[in-house]
Structures are given as structure tokens and as C-alpha cells.
Amino acid sequence: MAEVLVYVDHADGAVRKPTLELLTLARRIGEPVAVFLGAGAEDAAPTLAEYGATKVLAADEPEFVEYLVVPKVDALHAAFAHVSPAAVLVPSSVEGKEIAGRLAVRTGSGLITDAVDVEAGEDGPVATQSVFAGSYTTKSRITKGTPVITVKPNSAAPAAAPAAGSVERLAVTVAEASKGTEVVSRTARESTGRPELTEAAVVVAGGRGVNGDFSAVEALADSLGAAVGASRAAVDAGWYPHSNQVGQTGKSVSPQLYIAAGISGAIQHRAGMQTSRTIVAVNKDEEAPIFDLVDYGVVGDLFDVVPQLTAELDAR
């Protein structure tokens, strides 16, 4: 069976959920081979094996530090040459998309970004994308070279399928040209204790309707263990950081549950959230376009509805 390279996204060795989703999807098209860069491959290997990695190709070079993608592309390229895979799957993060794009150029392959599903096809893997702000769903296939596909978080439910997952060290030569960038400083963002927006299973988002006060949105998010999102109107008003913006010029999210409070549902906002599994909106205007999209809609003032919902959840 053909091998499929899966680029492992991890935080200091802890494998992130999108990687488990990629392993699950990779099994549909071949035998997943995980590529783990940085320290901690041996500790991560059992998790990767549990989700179907038949092998873990590992490399740890000093250049594999956060934000420097080119050395990581050197390593992924080395793994590519080692395995000759049928496809390469990479998480659709900012870093993942840059890595995937550079790998596709180096290998003379085609690239599909932001897929929401990947299936086996007669002539190679077929990727599903939601395009033009979600107006169309397309299915595409790479016709030249080895498909390189980035997949959005929450596109598949991780399913275990234990495999061997033994660690094999990969010989990587980081090209001199790849060493031309260094991290000169880092500023840690204050942690909110909430999950990362693009990975969260539940997102509670606020828009202009919150009128500068995100406390009700945050309280509901905390009751649900959710991440907080914001519309661009709320971000532009300075009520919430840009890193929390959902939409065309913000982040794309695909959680199990998306709750929009005081958000009208402009097409640019929908572009970032309409692939969410279940969508709930609270809006005082029953004509708001968001109601065309929702599974459940509540017409009402968010400052009445959202705290009631939080209280109900907290009482359980």
C-alpha cells in the first residue's frame, strides 16, 4: 500500500489534534508515515501510532525552531525523498501552508490548501474545499506530481487505528541558504486558558452587537470550554484582538459548535465559519442574514439570552 506523509504539528512535543485528524484521513489513501521535527519524537510516537502511523520519521536540528519554516521544508523534503509517498498531508495553519507551498514547488507537485475532506479517488486523492466564501464546494485532484494537501482543523473526527509507529531517524542536511533567518526575540501572549481558536471544538463569537462588552460571550465560552471568536467589526472597534477574528481576513474555523452572538452574518464572516458542524446565532434582528445559515437561531437581545444559556449550562 502506498505511503502518505503526514506532517506532525506539535507544541513542545505534545501532538496537536489536527495531526490526529490528518492521520485519520491519511488512512483512507494509504499508510500514514508521520514526520516529526524537533525534540520529543520518541514520546510522541505512541500517540501517532495509536492513530495509524506505521512509522515516525524524526529529525531534530537546532534550526527547527518556531517560525523558521525553510529548515523544516528541507526536512520534509528529505522525508519525501526517503519514502516517495502517494500524497503529503499538512495541517492548514499559517506555518503549514507555507511549508506545503514550498514543498510543492521543490517537488514540482500541485498543491491544494484548506481542504475540509480528503478521499481516495481512482486517479489519486480527491480533496474537498469550500470556496468563494463558501458559495461552492469543490472537489479537486492534483494531476501533476505528488499531491500536497493542507487540511483545515476539525475536518475529521480523529479515530484510533493502532499501528507500529516505530521511530526512524531521518538524515537531514539543512541547506546554508535555509539558515539566513533567525528568531531575534519572542513576546509571549498572555494566556487566557482557552483553547486555540482554530482547534477548538466549540467557538463562541461576538460581533458589533456586544457593543464593546465581551463578558457575556467570554462567560459562555468558559462554561463550554470554548474559544472566543470575534467579527471584524468587533476587532476594528478595538474590542477584541485581531488574532481572534473569524472570517475572510481572519481565521477559518470549523468547530463542532459555533455560537454567534450579535453578528449579522456578512459573507466575509461566513467565509471563516460556515463549515462549522452546528451553528447557533443570537441576534435581535430576525432578518439578520446569519439566520439563513444557522441550525438554531434565537431572536433576542444577547445580553438577555447569552447569560441565561450560561446559567443553564452552569446549573447542570
Where do contacts with ligand FAD occur on this chain (CB under 6 A)?
207-209, 231-234, 245-250, 262-264, 266, 268-269, 272, 282-285, 288, 301-303
- Name which of 2, 38, 30, 28 is nearest 16 in CA terms: 38
When the beta carbons of 148 and 302 are compared against ligand FAD, the nearer one is 302
Residue with cell 463562541: 204
Minimum CB separation of residue 267 from ligand FAD in Å reads 7
- Name which of 72, 150, 64 is nearest 114 in CA terms: 150
Cα–Cα distance measured from residue 261 to residue 206, given in angstroms and rounded to the nearest whole number: 5
When the beta carbons of 29 and 259 are compared against ligand FAD, the nearer one is 259
Minimum CB separation of residue 227 from ligand FAD in Å reads 15
Minimum CB separation of residue 149 from ligand FAD in Å reads 24
Contact 94, 103 (CB under 8 A): no
When the beta carbons of 18 and 206 are compared against ligand FAD, the nearer one is 206
When the beta carbons of 126 and 294 are compared against ligand FAD, the nearer one is 294
Minimum CB separation of residue 292 from ligand FAD in Å reads 12
When the beta carbons of 32 and 297 are compared against ligand FAD, the nearer one is 297
In the Cβ-directed half-sphere of 33, how many Cα atoms lie within 13 Å?
23
Minimum CB separation of residue 98 from ligand FAD in Å reads 20
Across the beta sheet with 55-59, the strand order is: 136-140, 126-131, 111-119, 148-151, 87-91, 3-7, 31-37, 55-59, 166-169
Interstrand relation of 148-151 and 87-91 (parallel, antiparallel or unpaired): parallel
Provide the residue count of the chain: 316
